[in-house]
A and B are shown apart, each in its own frame.
Chain A
Amino acid sequence: GDSVTQMEGPVTLSEEAFLTINCTYTATGYPSLFWYVQYPGEGLQLLLKATKADDKGSNKGFEATYRKETTSFHLEKGSVQVSDSAVYFCASWIPGYALNFGKGTSLLVTP
């Protein structure tokens, strides 16, 4: 079956540092790819998505590009803020199935 693999956390960065969280997927066919964010005590929120190869999803300064050749969807942000501290989940979706999530990567940004 399909699966999503994320880099293990926690990731600790200083404010204004560059962020990369790696995500790779395996799937039959071409899934849609998503990043979700979970703030403490809350449910997951959709951060960005890409539905086909070479698409770039972006939101709130975060970006991720759907790379078919490397089966990757890495999340990046040029300058993180303390308020970005959260758990980030990469997910894939194929029609007929539910969203399949990675295990999540915890990010802590310090002042």
Chain B
Amino acid sequence: DSGVTQTPKHLITATGQRVTLRCSPRSGDLSVYWYQQSLDQGLQFLIQYYNGEERAKGNILERFSAQQFPDLHSELNLSSLELGDSALYFCASSVADPNYGYTFGSGTRLTVV
């Protein structure tokens, strides 16, 4: 157990639907990062939150949004889903300085049919 908890582990949904992925960071970590992993694109950074505030944005689509709550857990909302959104979505957390490395969750596999 890495200390980062992601739920659900698997999700199958239809095109056009909306889903919410949840992440609980490792105890004491204030930063949460969301990544999308697909075979052709590799690991793509989506968004970072630090202590409830958005800190950095990567290649996140407008159909996607995220937030970090006062208890530091984070949710990634994906809407108007398309087949191409099928991927593994990872959450990672870190203390303020990423030089200590990220701790990754085991991911949520999203399949859009």
A interface vs B, CB < 8 Å? 32, 34, 41-46, 49, 51, 89, 93, 96-104
Contact = CB atoms under 8 A, between A and B. Distances in A.
B56 A97 contact: yes
B16 interface: no
Contacts of A44: 43, 90, 92, 102, 104
B90 A93 contact: no
Q: How large is the interface on B (under 10, 10 to 19, 20 to 34, 35 or more residues)?
A: 20 to 34
Interface of B: 2, 4, 33, 35, 42-43, 45, 48, 56, 58, 90, 92, 98-99, 101-107
B106 A42 contact: yes
A88 B35 CA distance: 16
Contacts of A93: 98-99
Nearest to A100: B45
B42 to A, nearest CB: 4
13 contacts: A43-B90, A43-B107, A44-B104, A46-B103, A49-B101, A93-B98, A93-B99, A98-B48, A98-B98, A99-B92, A99-B98, A100-B45, A102-B42
Given A32-B99, A34-B101, A98-B48, A104 B43 contact: yes
A101 B33 contact: no
Contacts of B103: 46
Max chain B CB contacts within 10 Å: which of A43, A100, A102?
A43
